[in-house]
Amino acid sequence: MKEIIVSKNDPIRFVMSVIDQGNLRTAVVLDDDKLVGIVTDGDIRRGLLNDIQLTEPINRIMNDRPIVAYVTDIKSRQLDLMQKNDLHCLPIVDHDRRLISIETRRDLGALRFFGNPVFIMAGGFGSRLKPLTDECPKPMLDIGGKPLLARAIELYKEQGFFNFYISVHYLPEIIKEFFGNGSKFGVSINYVDETNPLGTGGALALLPKELPHLPIIMINGDVMTNIGLEELLLAHQEMDNGITIAVKDVEYKISYGVITLDKLKHVISVDEKPVFRHQINCGIYVINHDLILTKSPIARLDMPNFISQKIGSGTQVGVYRFDDYWLDIGQLDDYSKAQLDYNSVYR
């Protein structure tokens, strides 16, 4: 992106060389980080025909009303703008006209984008990680030079997700100050403030009712994972679930012989060092939009109880088994492991 950015006071001759060296036939003109114009080789040719000199500043001939998209726009709209206006590239700006990125038609066309809200639970106290969390929310703990939450948002953005909601309660100002509205990360971020801790299920009632009518992805903020959210969504849709729980297979090996007794306390078997296999809840869910709208009034409710209520009312709940990396950073040992593993997760 930097190679095609110029200043409004740069001479036309310099901008010609920038355009010539790039492959988009375009230069983006900034003034104090704000977008003020676009220049194409056609603009320069027209300027020269009107006797504009090569030593004059580029703002003499630039298009000062370029077509732009906002960082909160759905990606499909960005691609549509480029196709309808035959643009080689499209500046993406925030609502203060600060340049966030420059998208090309090839880049947008090669990716899939999803309007599904991604709801990240980041309001917990992280008590088991003290003293690290005395002055830092658990999702903001440093993982290889970046907060865990930042790494998660960047990863999900790469997968095509851009519509984020973050539930905050403990030290919320740290999270809000770091991420803002998400524009500097190229995504949209809204906050769900829990005045009182509501649990993972209770916070769902605080989501705005005007959410897109799409399944909602819900993720615990203390999870480090590179799960593919598109595959999770596809499995949810194919199984026609109301709720899908992401699970992993785990094995527990008992290092001793396990005795089984009958009702009379007589030994009926001895199982030497047995292995027990289970599917565990990974704190990642897909929930249909209509289940959020019918959520009961705001009250503390953990996700397992929320799911049990929905099962009781006839909602189909399924699981999605995945093999990607997953770690619940709940204790100090987990945090140490995260520091060792992050390179293989966020490549």
Whether 284 and 135 map to the same domain: the answer is yes
- pLDDT tens sequence across 320-335: 999 889 999 999 999 9
CATH number at residue 39: 3.10.580.10
Is the pLDDT confidence value at 77 over 80? no
More confident residue, 88 or 111: 88
Statement to judge: residues 127 and 105 lie in one domain: no
pLDDT-derived band at 110 (thresholds 50, 70, 90) equals: low
Structure tokens at 57: 């500043």
With a pLDDT cut of 90, the percent of the chain lying above it is: 52
Domain boundary among 63, 90, 110: 110
Count the domains in the chain: 2
Q: Are 144 and 184 members of one domain?
A: yes
Which range marks the domain in which residue 327 is found? 118-345
Pick from 53, 88, 110: which residue ends a domain? 110
Same domain, 80 and 226: no
| Rounded distance between C-alpha atoms, residue 62 and residue 91, angstroms | 15
Per residue in 45-57, is it b (16+ CB within 10 Å) or e — as a string? eebeeeebeeeeb
End residue of a domain, out of 83, 110, 137? 110
- 71 and 144 within one domain: no
Residues 230 and 89 occupy one common structural domain: no
**For the residues 156-167, what does the mean pLDDT come to?**
91
Q: What is the pLDDT of residue 229?
A: 93
Same domain, 103 and 122: no
| Rg over CA atoms, the chain | 26
Looking at residue 4, its pLDDT comes to 86
Give me the pLDDT at residue 101, please. 86
CB proximity list for 167: less than 8 A, separation 6 or greater: 119, 120, 121, 122, 123, 191, 192, 194, 203, 206, 221
CATH number at residue 307: 3.90.550.10
- Residues 334 and 221 reside in one and the same domain: yes
At 25-46, the pLDDT tens digits run 788 999 988 999 999 888 898 9
> Would you say residue 295 has pLDDT above 60?
no
Same domain, 87 and 44: yes
347 has a pLDDT exceeding 80: no
Residue 296 has pLDDT above 60, yes or no: no
Tokens representing 91 are 């500046």
Q: Which tens digit of pLDDT belongs to each residue from 211-245?
A: 888 999 999 999 999 999 989 999 999 999 999 99
Residue 243 CB: number of other CB atoms within 10 A?
22
Whether residue 206 sits in one domain with residue 78:
no
Let me know whether 8 and 29 are in one domain.
yes
In this structure, are 96 and 193 located in the same domain? no
